[in-house]
């Protein structure tokens, strides 16, 4: 992970490559992300770079965080995130922009998926429907048998059941950066990424490239 930035998902569109093929892309507003602080082995027991993203009014920031931003001489930011980046060429208060990435780079994108609320077993786990004839009754979309009645007389842990669907942390790996607009701080990344429009995403160099 030699590259990293915090961004906001703007939505999907398509662009055309030099051969005229339509490429589906997700547009991400990537940065600019100021460097708020460094984590070091001496003081924290690990090394990391803390980046900020998104404007925030001072009146909405707690006093401890106000002091944290003031120490780094950085305006208050809505999102703070740590990344394992080399600190040699970085300084507190410096900016990481979209041009940290180049066309063709392989990236991992992490975000929070869309929440679907409480969902049944068919929507949540792709269960098949029960038959809708011969006395099955009004349970065609139910999960079916929960197991034997006498042994083990309980439902096994891990049984797929209806419940809360979505709104979880998801990482999509090995996506390709198709276009970089350094002037507008935009990245066009091939394919879909997690989350709704306006959702915060973390774009990092691919770990399995």
Q: Tell me, what's the pLDDT at 180?
A: 92
Q: Tell me, what's the pLDDT at 15?
A: 92
Please give the CATH architecture assigned to the domain spanning 33-94: 2-Layer Sandwich (3.30)
Q: What is the pLDDT along the chain (209 residues), one digit of tens a residue?
A: 588 999 999 999 999 988 889 999 999 998 788 988 888 888 889 888 899 998 888 888 889 888 988 888 888 888 899 988 887 778 888 888 888 899 989 999 999 999 999 999 999 999 998 888 887 778 888 888 888 888 888 999 999 999 999 999 999 999 999 999 988 999 999 999 999 999 999 999 999 87
Q: Tell me, what's the pLDDT at 1?
A: 59
Domain ranges of the chain: 1-26+97-114+167-209, 33-94, 118-142+159-164
Q: Tell me, what's the pLDDT at 19?
A: 87
DSSP states of 3-67: -EEEEEEEEEEEEE-TTS-EEEEEEEEE--EEEEEEE-TTTTSS-EEEEEEEE--GGGS-HHHHH
33-94 matches 1-26+97-114+167-209 in CATH topology = no
Q: Tell me, what's the pLDDT at 187?
A: 92
Q: How far apart are CA 193 and CA 177, in angstroms?
A: 12
Q: Tell me, what's the pLDDT at 119?
A: 95
Q: Tell me, what's the pLDDT at 135?
A: 79
CATH number for the domain running over 1-26+97-114+167-209:
2.40.30.10
Check: pTM over 0.85? Answer yes or no: no
């Amino acid at each position: 992970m030699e590259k990293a930035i915090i961004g906001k998902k703007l939505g999907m569109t398509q662009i055309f490559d030099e051969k005229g093929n339509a490429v589906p892309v997700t547009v991400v507003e990537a940065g600019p992300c100021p460097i708020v602080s460094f984590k070091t082995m001496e003081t924290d027991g690990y090394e990391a770079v803390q980046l900020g993203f998104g404007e925030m009014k001072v009146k909405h920031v707690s006093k401890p965080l106000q002091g944290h931003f003031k120490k780094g001489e950085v305006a208050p930011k809505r999102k703070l995130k740590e990344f394992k980046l080399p600190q040699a060429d970085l300084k507190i208060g410096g900016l990481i922009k979209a041009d940290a990435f180049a066309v063709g780079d392989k990236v991992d994108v992490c975000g929070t998926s869309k929440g679907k609320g409480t969902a049944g077993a068919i929507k949540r786990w792709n269960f098949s429907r029960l038959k809708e004839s011969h006395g099955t009754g009004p349970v065609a979309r139910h999960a079916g048998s929960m197991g034997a009645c006498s042994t083990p007389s309980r439902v096994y842990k891990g049984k797929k059941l209806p419940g809360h669907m979505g709104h979880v942390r998801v990482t999509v790996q090995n996506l390709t950066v198709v276009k970089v607009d350094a002037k507008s701080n935009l990245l066009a990344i091939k394919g879909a990424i997690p989350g709704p429009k306006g959702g915060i995403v973390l774009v990092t160099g691919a770990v399995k490239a």
